[in-house]
Structure 1
């Protein structure tokens, strides 16, 4: 059978579109950020992003049969990237909140966290969250910690791109306390003995945060794939191995 030049060109175009569409469907575009250890942070020697959630999405991509395209963005730029369609999923320690739920779809939760307080070693007057009224508080920009701090009566809030910078600001005498996610603070202080020696990490926890990955509200197909991959990794023990690698303890058995 012979085809005209126009027909051959049209068929070639359709084939190209099918190939491109298949390639796009097999690529999982994930955005993370590099200042939220131990979930995602830059390796000081290689310059590459690493961490619990980075290892997790790599393992998930294998379960999903997709090629992972991982990029780093500022935390505040990830959800806009999802809304614009330039990325598929945000994996950057996103807390499940009603406000975020108006804009994006959440995966099943994979981590349970909470907010805690750090104060300078030897300081007095702050033992719990009720003692933060009227105090100077440092937080990481765009996080649940910032939202919580804004609700504290009379608090004077300063924001930073990382929790580590917030702690340094406090130690410089510019804040009375830092509010941050407990696992991140634990990791920062465990890795930096100098900071640990100058600070006290208080025990009270203000809220229980559930972390999840985020995607477009209408992308229920991707949510199903992500949720299944997470459940499969928990079932075969991979999830728990990654959790122990980065946190030193087994994963929370209460999460799905």
Structure 2
């Protein structure tokens, strides 16, 4: 009787051990460190660029911020913002300090040499911006002998350098938009170059003593960037997310939140 009891006990013990082994071998939704398998990407932004990126009460907001958050939600990945000067964003991608850049970045041939862009998400364009009481400057032909303020690393800065010799002006570069705006407001520069939606928002919201002059100089499109040839997977997710936002109407809602018709 005791032999049968001992045998039964051994069988029961083996069954318990087998059951425990089966539980441990089941797929675990967490990784080896106990965290989530959801990927987190570092996103470079420039928070001196309203209405696309700016800071209110310690929180990042703007068109770009809302768009990348919505894309991340749509495509099931996490993001971690890294604010920096615009001119440092592409170098940070190259140094593997960032995975994604969204900063009102115009799609240009030069940038395409080092980054891959998403589908365009906004049509912008450079404008001449002068003091509100300036009626003398309406085109590039009016800039001879004058100082043109630009923001380092931007398409405005590149445009100014490319046309400096032809139109006879001097370029002054700044690291942020407010400093550039102030340079024209206080008369140290005759004009600045800025993307139209950015300066239109700044003038309307901040009461800057500035105005746009003449027609837009370019027809730039903004794109979301990743390091060239290194992040095809996330670029596909970004494009898929953008399309989903357009199809659902959320894209238009985000733009309408910051830019009035």
Structure 2 segments unaligned to the other structure (5+ residues): 1-27
Provide the residue aligned with 1:163 in structure 2. 177
Match of 2:253 among 236, 241, 246: 241
The 1:19/1:176 distance shift into structure 2, 3 A limit, reads same
Cα distance in 2 for residues equivalent to 1:168 and 1:74: 18
Asked if structure 1 preserves the Cα contact closer than 8 Å seen for 2:38 and 2:78, the reply is no
Structure 1 segments unaligned to the other structure (5+ residues): 1-14, 250-256
SS in 2 for 1:152: helix
Provide the residue aligned with 2:16 in structure 1. none
Match of 2:130 among 93, 96, 119: 119
Q: Could you tell me how far 1:25 is from its partner in structure 2?
A: 5.8
Task: Tell me, yes or no, if structure 1 residue 174 matches structure 2 residue 199.
Answer: no
Cα distance in 2 for residues equivalent to 1:158 and 1:61: 38
Q: Could you tell me how far 1:19 is from its partner in structure 2?
A: 3.5
Cα distance in 2 for residues equivalent to 1:210 and 1:134: 31
CA RMSD of aligned residues (A): 2.1
**Count of matched residue positions in the alignment of Structure 1 and Structure 2:** 230
Map residues 15-30 of structure 1 onto 2, 5 A cutoff: 19=32, 26-30=39-43
Q: 1:140-189 deviations in whole A, cap 9, x for unaligned?
A: 11111111111233221111222232121112121111111100000110
Match of 1:91 among 78, 84, 102: 102
Deviating runs (4+, > 4 A) in structure 1?
20-25
Greater radius of gyration (CA)? 2
TM-score, length basis structure 2: 0.82
Provide the residue aligned with 1:52 in structure 2. 63
Cα distance in 2 for residues equivalent to 1:206 and 1:20: 53
TM-score, length basis structure 1: 0.84
Asked if structure 2 preserves the Cα contact closer than 8 Å seen for 1:133 and 1:152, the reply is no
SS in 2 for 1:118: strand
